[in-house]
Amino acid sequence: MAGRYKRIKMLNCRKINIYPGIKRQKECIIRRENVEKFYLSEEIINAAIQQKNKILDEAHAEAEAIRLDVRHRVSRQFWQDAQVLLDDWQREREKMKEDILQCTKQLLAQALQLAFAKQPTEKRTEALIQHLRRNYDEKSPASLLVNPQLRIQVENVLKMHSNNHWEIIDDSRLQKDQLCLKSTTGDFFISWETVKEQLLSAVTENTDATLT
């Protein structure tokens, strides 16, 4: 019996595993849960991409708004600074203009003073009489008071105007550069200094009008 049993044991079939070490899988390779997770992950990724694009668009819009605001501020600041510079330049220009005007007036006054000082007595006398003739009617009777030393010069000037009816009267109280015209309308006193001041004033006013 023992030999028979051994023979039967040797005839038992054995299973052969074609791929040793690899267990046969009875389930699907990709589970349903994994597929659902895959689609869920894709939705999350798409949502993240959309969110990213939205954030980028908002960032671009904000950056553009900041750029325009900065540009506006810089432009406004530039024009404000430019206006300040323009105002400063205008003030400097006005001051320079005033300085030039004052300097011109001073130089002109000095030149006229020098020219007046060089005028001989005959020219001064003629200027005084011409001033009287422009302001008073020489055809009307009047008395012209003069310094005795100036009488001859006054007569010579009046001889050039035949229609003059002024009577020359000596008055030693007058200076050689002074005259006094007496008429029915009153007395008019004139001197070389008065004529100079009027001429200087007229020239100064003309200078102001020319340079302004």
**pLDDT score at 173:** 92
Domain that holds residue 75: 40-118
pLDDT of 170-179, one tens digit each?
999 998 888 9
Is 89 found in the same domain as 126?
no
User: Is residue 95 located within the same domain as residue 54?
Assistant: yes
Number of folded domains that form the chain: 2
Clarify whether residues 99 and 137 are in a common domain: no
What local confidence, expressed as pLDDT, does residue 7 receive? 46
Are 50 and 112 within one domain? yes
Terminal C-alpha separation, the chain: 151
Residue 40: what pLDDT?
64
The answer to whether the beta carbons of residues 146 and 171 sit under 8 Å apart is: yes
* Mean pLDDT on 139-146: 88
Residue 201: inside a domain: yes
pLDDT at 11 over 70: no
Is the residue at 78 inside a domain?
yes
Do 206 and 137 lie in one domain? The reply is yes
pTM of the model: 0.48
Are 207 and 126 within one domain? yes
Tell me how far the alpha carbon of residue 104 is from its chain's centroid.
Answer: 26
Mean pLDDT score, 9-18: 49
Q: Each residue of 101-126: pLDDT tens digit?
A: 888 878 887 887 888 788 888 888 88
- Per-residue confidence band for 212, with pLDDT thresholds at 50, 70 and 90: low
pLDDT of residue 29: 54
Q: What 8-state DSSP symbol labels residue 30?
A: S
Which residues, 6 or more positions from 155, have their beta carbon under 8 angstroms from its beta carbon? Answer: 168
Q: For residue 69, is pLDDT > 70?
A: yes
- Is residue 116 within 8 A of residue 193, CB to CB? The reply is no
Average pLDDT for 43-71: 80
pLDDT at 146: 93
21 — phi, psi (to 5°)? 85, -5
Mean pLDDT of the chain: 77
Secondary structure string (H, E, C) spanning 145-212: EECHHHHHHHHHHHHCCCCCCEEEEECCCCCCCEEEEEECCEEEEEEHHHHHHHHHHHHHHHHHHHHC
